[in-house]
Amino acid sequence: MPFSSTPARLAAGLVWLAACGPARAPTPEPLASTSEVRAIVAALAADSMEGRRTGTPGAARAARYLAERMRSYGLEPGGDSSYFQRVPYEVVQGAEGETLRLPGAGVTDSAGIERITDVNLIGLVRGSDSAMRDEAVVLGAHFDHMGIGKPVGGDSIYNGADDDASGVATVLAAAQALAKAPPRRSVIFLLTSGEEFGVLGTQWYLDRPTFALARTIADLQVEMVGRPDSLAGGSGKLWLTGFKRSTMGPSFATAGLPIVADPRPDFRFFERSDNIVFALRGIPAHTLSSFSLHDDYHQPSDEVDRIDFAHLQQATDLVIRATRLLADGTAPTWRQGGRPSPTAP
């Protein structure tokens, strides 16, 4: 065949046009890595993590593991010490034994109060659109659980595989996927401590946010997605707390995501997870879940072998698609009467 440079130049020109022209081809969605999701849940729920109670060596071990995952995906560190945001806690004796609080909360007499430090983990993917990357979406889950406690059937380690190693796995898998193909707005991946003591890590983040709250357009939390909920439609389906309070839930439904309203509104889950702290600051914030009120909730039997990984994999893909929709699309807004007031949430 005779040599001719023309077709090659033409092809190169077309490639250049395709890469820079306004009509970009849709980015194929990288699905979450199945092995990564499994590995994260298994690692966090292992007995060696000792139930990840905030302030314990087990929680510190979990935090180091999570920071290493964030680093391996190439996330931008968003904490005050790389991926770590240090959170000071005070150990106090409550009516039901030892509990934690943030400094300055409650009692003025601080004599005899033990001070400890735990962390939140924060990683960031910068938005791809120069006009939108100064706005951010927060995707979060809590990595702490209840630690070592009262033995049940000879087991004293409260592993928290569903609560909330499952949610943490979806957030990290989303970070891995979105880092490969960033959406238009920036996304902050926030893994918090202190949730089991009253969403304390998230409260700390909101007072020291990585991204200005005025430019944080939405918060989505993921809590207990390791088993399907028949009331939500079974495997691969999730429900969203406070569905009708903002335009977020309806926008997911319009986009065809299998996300329904919380089927048990009487349990007031909208007010019982990390999203409430964002919502009270005025940011549209909800929690995705498929918690079916199973008997292993807050028991040592919340183990990795009870996770339905086929469901969790579908849930993870759903979390990725929902996050991308928030980061690419119209910012959600509260509907009439949907925004909780600080006095009456």
Kindly list the residues in this chain that would bind Zn ion in the complex (CB under 5 A): 163-164, 223
Q: Bridge partners of 222? A: 288
Q: How far is the CB of 190 from Zn ion (least distance, A)?
A: 14
Residues 173 and 122 sit within 8 Å (Cβ to Cβ): no
* Closer CB to Zn ion, 73 or 189, in the complex: 189
Q: How far is the CB of 196 from Zn ion (least distance, A)?
A: 7
Can you tell me whether residue 118 is helix, strand or coil?
strand
* Closer CB to Zn ion, 36 or 223, in the complex: 223
Nearest to 244 by CA among 337, 162, 140, 343: 337
Can you tell me whether residue 66 is helix, strand or coil?
helix
Helix ranges (DSSP H) in 27-155: 34-44, 57-72
User: Angle at Cα 99 formed by Cα 95 and Cα 100, nearest 5°?
Assistant: 140
* Closer CB to Zn ion, 146 or 248, in the complex: 146
Q: How far is the CB of 119 from Zn ion (least distance, A)?
A: 17
* Closer CB to Zn ion, 223 or 229, in the complex: 223
What gap in Å lies between CA 247 and CA 57, rounded to an integer?
41
Q: Which residues of 39-63 are buried (b: 16+ CB within 10 A; e: fewer)?
A: ebbbbbbbeebbbbbbbbebbbbbb
Q: How far is the CB of 291 from Zn ion (least distance, A)?
A: 9
* Closer CB to Zn ion, 73 or 239, in the complex: 239
* Closer CB to Zn ion, 90 or 223, in the complex: 223
What gap in Å lies between CA 198 and CA 110, rounded to an integer?
20
What gap in Å lies between CA 327 and CA 341, rounded to an integer?
26
* Closer CB to Zn ion, 118 or 223, in the complex: 223
Q: How far is the CB of 71 from Zn ion (least distance, A)?
A: 25
DSSP element (H, E) containing 310: helix 309-328
Q: Bridge partners of 218? A: 137
Q: Residue 62: left if φ>0, alpha if ψ -120 to 50, beta else—which one?
A: alpha
Q: How far is the CB of 310 from Zn ion (least distance, A)?
A: 22
Q: How far is the CB of 47 from Zn ion (least distance, A)?
A: 19
What gap in Å lies between CA 279 and CA 270, rounded to an integer?
9
Task: Output DSSP code: residue 106.
Answer: S
DSSP element (H, E) containing 128: none
Q: How far is the CB of 136 from Zn ion (least distance, A)?
A: 23
Q: How far is the CB of 311 from Zn ion (least distance, A)?
A: 17
* Closer CB to Zn ion, 67 or 222, in the complex: 222
* Closer CB to Zn ion, 136 or 165, in the complex: 165
Can you tell me whether residue 285 is helix, strand or coil?
strand
Task: Output DSSP code: residue 289.
Answer: E
